[in-house]
Amino acid sequence: MNVYRTHEGLHHAFRDVLNFYYPDCIDVRTGGYVAQLDEREGYVYDSRSKHLVATARAVNNFSLGTLADGPEWCRTAAEHGLRFLSTVHWDPEQRGYDWLLDGRVPVDRTRYCYGHAFALLAGARAHQAEIPGGREELDRVFEVLEERFFEPDHGLYADRASPDWSELSSYRGANANMHTLEALLAAGEVTGEEHFFDRAYTVAERFARELAAETDGLLWEHYTDSWAHDLSYNEDEPDHQFRPPGYQPGHHAEWAKLLCLLAEHREEKWLLTRAMELFDAAMDLGWDDQYEGLYYTVESSGKPIVDDKYGWAHAEAIGASALLARHDTTYLEWYDRLWEYATTHLINPRYGNWYERLTREGELPEPDHGPEVEPGYHPITNCWLAMERLDREEGTLMAGE
């Protein structure tokens, strides 16, 4: 049997990623985290850059470590990061979170909904782990998201604003809304307050039903400020790091996971139906039958645009298949297949961290040593999610055959 169908196997993978980052990630000089670790050898290649998303994700990670009865240092590490997020990243004058710091000095104060979404997630998970200040952070970020980013006429969130909030970008995107949905679900689960689920439902319905209906059920990433599909966006930059053209199988799986989570709090049957449709689309269009693994971006026909394989996409598909398997055990086949690919290609055999990106054939390219890093949030979150649901179901989550 796949060892990752057991609590012990999942906890081992979860713990390995935490151990890769701790203690080197704790910046005792300037505060916050050092998130820029070389994914192959583990050395620090940039000790100065403090990226909002990396900070918030690491708070999430160590809070989940606390919830999963991890080492005692998980709690102190989460407290350490939350203090930095709530004081140094936070701009009290403009009431928003700074995007990028050099040590403690802001170098990019652009207000990104994406970054604020992860700050909300960090506050929610810290509150769940009873980290002091978690609830206060949750409430503060939600207020900013509602006042500055949410567009009532569209039922969705804008993407970014200038540092003083005077200018709002005309770009609208799926990614910021997807992660805001994720954070809203976490906030609802840890507080029990329905207004978080109400807002999450609005976002999910607008994207997964209404907007997707215009693209044959698939989820496009890029939109105009009136929320019209911008189908030509970045078509001349197929390798764009953060906003590539095409459909992303990994995001289809991630939306499927989030719809499953929302379905635990809403009775509308379309949520699970769409979750299955989106996951099936991710695998039908994105799975590489020759070399295994999920392509990064594809055309609506399934023809790959960028055939690289990203670790985050497979971690999200693992989480989605674990949740879907509670409703249809045939999804266990994908759960096992995804874990097999991850353990063979994506997980560093020396440290247990996950590689960011592979070539189509499964080779490691030269590492990207930029400030935007993924500090293990995707595998940690999805291992924790599977463990938590397995415990809730008394070990039956992935026992079916």
Segment 28-62, tens digit of pLDDT = 999 999 999 999 999 999 999 999 999 999 999 99
Mean pLDDT of 342-371: 95
* R_g over Cα of the chain: 20
> How far is residue 276 from each of residues 200, 284, 328, measured CA to CA in Å?
19, 12, 9
Q: 156: Cβ–Cβ under 8 A, 6 or more apart, which residues? A: 150, 172, 177, 203, 206, 207, 227
Tell me what the mean pLDDT of segment 307-318 comes to: 98
* Helix ranges (DSSP H) in 205-269: 249-263
Q: Is residue 222 scored above 90 in pLDDT?
A: yes
Distance of alpha carbon 250 from alpha carbon 280, whole angstroms: 11
Report the Cα 36 to chain-centroid distance in Å.
Answer: 18
Domain boundaries, the chain: 3-248+367-392
How far apart are the C-alpha atoms of 132 and 252, rounded to whole Å? 35
261-287 pLDDT, tens digit each? 999 999 999 999 999 999 999 999 999
pLDDT at 395: 60
Burial class (CB in 10 A: 0-12, 13-18, 19+), 396: exposed
pLDDT confidence band for 401 (50 / 70 / 90): very low
Contact of 156 with 171, CB cutoff 8 Å: no
Options 80, 179, 314, 378, the catalytic residue: 378
The arithmetic mean of pLDDT across residues 313-321, rounded, is 98
* % residues pLDDT > 90 (the chain): 92
* For residues 59-68, average pLDDT: 98
Whether the per-residue pLDDT at 290 is higher than 80: the answer is yes
> Does 7 qualify as catalytic in the annotation?
no
Quick one: pLDDT at residue 392?
74
Mean pLDDT of 88-117: 98
Cα–Cα dist 269/7, whole Å: 29
What is the per-residue pLDDT for 280? 98
Residue 393 vs residue 136, higher pLDDT: 136
Q: Report the share of the chain in percent with pLDDT over 70.
A: 98
pLDDT score of 394? 63
Q: Does domain 3-248+367-392 have CATH number 1.50.10.10?
A: yes
pLDDT of residue 213: 98
pLDDT at 399 over 70: no
The answer to pTM > 0.85 is yes
| Cα-based angle 49, 50, 53 (whole degrees, multiple of 5) | 130
Catalytic residue (choose from 251, 252, 314, 345): 251
Mean pLDDT of the chain: 96
Q: Which two tokens stand for residue 329?
A: 């055990």
How much is the pLDDT for 371? 86
**pLDDT in the model for residue 397:** 55
- Mean pLDDT lowest among 54-68, 205-219, 382-396: 382-396
Distance CA(256)–CA(280), nearest Å, equals 9
